[in-house]
A and B are shown apart, each in its own frame.
Chain A
Amino acid sequence: MSSSELDTLIGTRWKKPPFIRRVWLRSALVLGGFLYLVLAIASVEVNWSRVYEGLERGAAFVAAFTTPDFTTRAADIREGMLESIVMTVAASVVGILISIPIGLGAARNLAPLPVYLVCRGIIAVSRALQEIIVAILLVAIFGFGPLAGFLTLSFATIGFLSKLLAEDIESMDRAQAEAVRATGARWTQWINYGVQPQFMPRLIGLSMYRLDINFRESAILGLVGAGGIGATLNTAFDRYEFDTAAAILILIIVIVMALEYLSGIVRSRVQ
Chain B
Amino acid sequence: MLRLEKLTKTYKTGDQALKQVDLEVPQGQVLALIGPSGAGKSTLIRCINRLVEPTGGAAWLGGVNLTALGQRALRRERRRMGMIFQEYALVERLTVMENVLSGRLGYVGFWRSFLRRFPQSDVDEAYRLLDRVGLLHMADKRADELSGGQRQRVGICRALIQNPALLLVDEPTASLDPKTSRQIMRLIVELCRERDLAAIINIHDVALAQMFVMRVIGLELGRIVFDGAPDALTPDVLTQIYGEEDWEATIQTVEEEEEEAGTA
Contact = CB atoms under 8 A, between A and B. Distances in A.
Contact of B158 (A175, A183, A190, A197): A183
Interface in A157-203: 173, 175-176, 178-186, 188-190, 192-194, 197-198, 200-201
Contacts of A190: 105
Given A176-B89, A182-B49, A193 B98 contact: yes
A197 B105 contact: no
Contacts of B79: 183-184
A178 B106 CA distance: 14
Contacts of B94: 193, 197
Given A186-B110, A188-B110, A193-B105, A181 B51 contact: yes
A194 B92 CA distance: 10
Nearest to B92: A176
B59 interface: no
A182 B83 contact: yes
Interface in B46-98: 49, 51, 75-79, 81, 83, 85-87, 89-94, 98
Interface string A66-82: 00000000000000000
B8 interface: no
B158 A184 contact: no
B89 A189 contact: no
B193 to A, nearest CB: 23
A175 B170 CA distance: 12
B29 interface: no
Interface in B93-124: 93-94, 98, 102-107, 110, 113-114
A38 B113 CA distance: 64
B162 interface: yes
Interface in B19-61: 49, 51
B93 A183 contact: no
A100 to B, nearest CB: 14
A201 B83 CA distance: 28
Contacts of A197: 91-94
B91 A176 contact: yes
A185 B106 contact: yes
Closest 9 CB pairs of A and B: A184-B106, A185-B105, A184-B78, A179-B89, A197-B93, A175-B89, A184-B79, A182-B83, A184-B75
Interface of B: 49, 51, 75-79, 81, 83, 85-87, 89-94, 98, 102-107, 110, 113-114, 155, 158, 162, 168
